[in-house]
Amino acid sequence: MTFAGQQHADALISRLGVQVDPDLLILALTHRSFAYEAGGLPTNERLEFLGDSVLGVVVTDRLYHAHPDLPEGELAKMRAACVSQRALAEVARQIELGPCILLGKGERTTGGHDKDSILCDAFEAVLGAIYLTHGIEVSREVVLRLVGPSLEAAAQSGVALDWKTSLQEACAERGLGSPVYDVVGEGPDHARRFTATVLVGGEPCGSGTGTAKKHAEQEAASQAYAAVTASP
């Protein structure tokens, strides 16, 4: 890591409030575009996978205990809001994660340091690195400190918490059957992009794109929800 890069990493550690194994931190910040251009270095995707699970467990546990009277469906919506790409990207911006991420030239020139998808993935990877360094209890403290405001906001929000669940409920109420998602992935592994189309009653009703299938599906579901609920 260069001197400037080390400065960014040190500042990030200070904002996180915990030490992180240096090698794991570098790995957490290595986007696949950088790894590809560097000749096939390991990427942060495995740590992202781990961090996503750690985040899910901590958030689910907190919601379960904080809202004992809410049904499973409402808890699922609140969790979806807290761990959405947009919400996690905002947390990443608050801790100034963007400048620390190692990106390939193409991503750098197109503003990759401030893309929701890249910020979200890197944040989850950093959580994975924290978990491997300290275990679940320290990870829990970090997650609740950083994601806590989203948990509070989720308690005040409505259908936008989880468009797929909201669309499913709206279709059921109108006797339209279950929505069906058709997802197509395009591009090389280091720049994969997904396009989702949602069918309601066999007809296309919304579409969305994203670097992950779940994000493309949520965008498609939000369009379909607006169309379905606008119908008399």
Q: Contact at 8 Å (CB) between 159 and 132?
A: no
| Pairing outcome for strands 193-200 and 203-210 | antiparallel
**Residue 124 annotated as binding site:** yes
Q: At what angle do helices 85-94 and 136-154 cross, to 10 degrees?
A: 110
Q: pTM value?
A: 0.71
**Catalytic site positions:** 52, 124
Which amino acid appears at position 125 of this protein?
A
Tell me the pLDDT tens digit for each residue of 18-71.
999 999 999 999 999 999 998 889 999 999 999 999 999 999 999 999 888 888
**Residue 162 annotated as binding site:** no
Tell me the pLDDT tens digit for each residue of 109-126.
999 899 988 999 999 999
Question: Residue 53 half-sphere exposure, CB side, CA atoms within 13 Å?
Answer: 11
